Structure 1
Amino acid sequence: MNWDQVTRDWLSVSQQIKLKWGKFTNDDLAMISGGRESFVRLFEQRYGDDKATAEKKIDAFVAGLKLPQERGNLLSWSQHCWKNIKSFARIRPRI
């Protein structure tokens, strides 16, 4: 996963961050809101690492993330609904 995806899926990513690194509060994660530099800065404060170490740990964590399955299911569900709508549009009413 790249950082653009992290920003888009921040809610699910922030939950995973909280599971991995318990020192982050909900307020911290809301303040970060997908910003990499904010995350690195706050990581340095919470865990006492230098900037390079914090960046390495965060980048390794982000590289291991996978897109949530719910998004794929939601997309396929919406596509399914759209197909149904289009099929109803083809039906001509009986007079």
Structure 2
Amino acid sequence: MAWDRVEGNWKQVKGKVKEQWGKLTDDDLDVINGKREQLEGKIQERYGKAKDEAKRDVDTWYDSQTW
């Protein structure tokens, strides 16, 4: 699944995102709205991670999903 499909199915996907990153609030998820850069930024903010670490975490999570 390409990331654009994540954006298109955000309502279904955000539950999986919340399972992975429980510190993200529902408001965060509404702001992210499927945008990868927004997700990475919120992970940085909530978890105190560097930009490259947040990107790696999203890559790892994305690759582990059974789409």
TM-score (norm 1): 0.66
Between the aligned residues of both structures, percent identity stands at: 36
The residue that corresponds to 2:46 in the other structure is: 46
Output the CA distance in 2 between the equivalents of 1:42 and 1:64: 20
The residue that corresponds to 1:6 in the other structure is: 6
Pairs aligned (count): 67
Q: CA deviation at 1:66?
A: 2.4
Give unpaired runs (5+ residues) of structure 1: 68-95
Structure 1's consecutive aligned runs of 4 or more residues displaced over 4 angstroms after TM superposition are none
* Contact map agreement 2:21 2:43 (CA 8 A) in 1: no
* Contact map agreement 1:44 1:54 (CA 8 A) in 2: yes
Cα offsets for 1:12-62 (capped at 9, x unmatched): 211011111110111100000011111111110000110000000001111
TM-score (norm 2): 0.90
- What is the RMSD of the two structures over their aligned residues, measured on CA atoms? 1.0
Larger radius of gyration: 1
Give unpaired runs (5+ residues) of structure 2: none
